């Protein structure tokens, strides 16, 4: 084989390699925390303020799994108040497991979730709520079995 044919084979192998790399890069799934992460970043000061308010409460938010399901308990100060907000069960390694729920606590500041509504895995539970005057934010780790 002369040098011209060797050069042609080298270019063909290079072109096929580049085509393969382009194909693989187009079919790679990249998990992002949020699809609108830029907007979330601009509102991050609200998260900082909410964490500060939640840390000023007498007790922290409690999230635990029991035999009946998953129980969310807000601090004592939240009892008998009108609470609104949301709960996000965020799974860092699989966006398909993420679940968002509206916060609907009873008069004791408690809300329960059925065990079959949340797929087993490791979650960061992000609770964002407000009462009549302040906004709060808390994060808790939870392993659902």
Q: Tens digits of per-residue pLDDT, 118-137? A: 999 999 999 999 988 899 99
Three-class SS state of 138:
strand
What is the structure's pLDDT at 39? Answer: 83
In what order do the strands lie in the sheet containing 99-102? 99-102, 84-90, 121-130, 135-144
Q: Where are the alpha helices (DSSP H) in the chain?
A: 3-26, 37-42, 44-55
Three-class SS state of 24:
helix
What is the structure's pLDDT at 32? Answer: 65
> Measured between alpha carbons, how far is residue 120 from residues 15, 34, 65, 87 in Å?
45, 21, 11, 17
What is the structure's pLDDT at 33? Answer: 66
What is the structure's pLDDT at 96? Answer: 87
Where are any strands of DSSP class E within the chain? 62-65, 70-73, 84-90, 99-102, 110-113, 121-130, 135-144
| pLDDT-flagged residues of the chain (< 70) | 31-34
Distance in angstroms (rounded) separating the CA atoms of residues 40 and 32: 12
What is the structure's pLDDT at 25? Answer: 92
Task: Give the global pTM.
Answer: 0.76
**Tokens, residue 78:** 């939240």
- Measuring CA to CA, which residue among 79, 86, 88 is closest to residue 57? 79
**Tokens, residue 105:** 């606590």
């Amino acid at each position: 084989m002369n040098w011209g044919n060797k050069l042609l084979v080298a270019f063909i192998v290079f072109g096929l390699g580049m085509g393969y790399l382009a194909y693989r890069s187009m079919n790679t799934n990249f998990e992002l925390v949020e699809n609108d992460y830029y907007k979330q970043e601009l509102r991050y000061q609200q998260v900082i303020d909410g964490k500060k308010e939640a840390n000023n409460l007498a007790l922290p938010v409690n999230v635990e799994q029991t035999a009946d399901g998953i129980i969310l308990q807000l601090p004592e100060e939240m009892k008998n108040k009108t609470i609104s907000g949301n709960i996000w069960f965020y799974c860092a390694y699989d966006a398909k497991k993420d679940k968002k729920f509206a916060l609907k606590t009873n008069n004791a500041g408690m809300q329960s979730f059925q065990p079959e509504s949340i797929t087993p895995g490791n979650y960061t539970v992000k609770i964002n709520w407000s009462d009549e005057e302040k906004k709060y934010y808390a994060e808790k780790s939870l392993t659902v079995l």
